[in-house]
Amino acid sequence: MSTIVVTGAARGIGLELVKTYLAKGDKVVATYRTSEPPIALAQLQGTCQLTLHPLEATDSQSIAAFAASLADTHIDVLVNNAGVIGPDHQSYSDMDVEGWKHTFEINTIAPLMITNALLSNLKKSPSPKVITISSQMGALNRESTGMLAYRSSKAAVNKVMQVLALELKAEGIIVCPVHPGWVKTDMGGDEADITAQESAEGIVKLSQSLTMKESGKFFTWEGYEHAW
């Protein structure tokens, strides 16, 4: 049985990740932002394998409190899933700059801060892994317009994770950003290609198969390497 931490687990991909890991028999620690656990997440709490904890990913005190709550718990897989699509106005000619900053705080900075706060827990695992949910919309080889705040935050977190993989290699910690697919969620919309369950199942399978030789690479939810 592995111990998994999933941030941003209240809905969408995060919620399905929790369900998928629980179905495998793993112990899951899931975070949410609200004062009380969302109904969909709370309904899963009938199993002793699930622990729920509030976490504001942009608040250093909240991150510290979350890390303290885990004490000496070992973590086998950390999934940095919490993320936002960004402000309504995010074109080059009409940018909500404060919204852009907030997008970077959640999508780019928070995954690094949370990973750093949980390093001691990860080091207790024989094969620790850090999976950060990114997006191919941040891939530099793709030429497309719009969603500048979101795209730039995902391109940035890809680089953060690539560097982190190099720096944590000596610790035996595997680090990979993952494109979850175009998913039917509040963020992805109803016209998306796959369901949150399909995406989550693929990500869980990937997280099980990753070895140190894959650390620092960018993957798709299907397990294929994605160009940067």
- Going by the DSSP 8-state scheme, the letter that residue 184 receives in this structure is E
> Residues 2, 134, 153, 199: which is the catalytic one?
134
154 is catalytic: yes
- What is the four-CA torsion angle of 90, 92, 94, 98, rounded to 10 degrees? 50
Size of the chain in residues: 228
Give DSSP secondary structure letters for 5-25: EESS-SSHHHHHHHHHHHHTT
Look at strands 77-80 and 50-54 and give their pairing: unpaired
Q: How many CB atoms lie within 10 A of CB 40?
A: 15
Q: In sequence order, what E strands does 106-149 have?
A: 129-133
In degrees rounded to 5, what are phi and psi of residue 226? -105, 140
Active-site residue, 134 included: yes
Q: What is the distance between the alpha carbons of residues 20 and 16, in angstroms, rounded to a whole number?
A: 6
Cα torsion angle, 217, 221, 224, 228, sign: negative
Q: Which of 27, 154, 184, 217 is catalytic?
A: 154
Cβ-contact 11, 86 below 8 angstroms: no
Catalytic-labelled residue, pool 27, 32, 135, 150: 150
Q: Which residues are catalytic?
A: 134, 150, 154
